[in-house]
Amino acid sequence: EVDGIATSGRNTRLRIILHEGRNRQIRRMCEAVGLSVVSLVRVRVGGVRLSSLPVGQWRTLTSNEVESVSTTPAPRRGKATTSRRRPPSATWSIAAPQNRRPAWGERRPS
């Protein structure tokens, strides 16, 4: 979801909201529409705002933040809708049993 857009000269500032981010997802989405990403700023993780927290620092969560994090449902894990794997070629599915060595459990005692 793209929430706000601001343009200043040659730069465009976008506010993008992701519910489940993937590795480099924003960079890839911007690249797909011809935009190059100069910087990214994470402002919130779940119900925890990070605006006043300096880079590399940490703080104790408030009780409300702990509650919001613990009640947030985990992302659903299921089959991906698209797969990058190629289907196996026909040569992979044809086996030559006469040339195959028996597995360890299949070997006959000597």
* pLDDT at residue 91 in the model: 46
10-residue stretch averages of pLDDT, the chain, 110 residues long = 80 84 86 87 82 84 86 65 55 50 63
pTM, two decimals, is 0.48
**Residue type (1 letter), 32:** A
pLDDT at 32: 92
Helix ranges restricted to H, the chain = 25-32, 63-71, 90-93
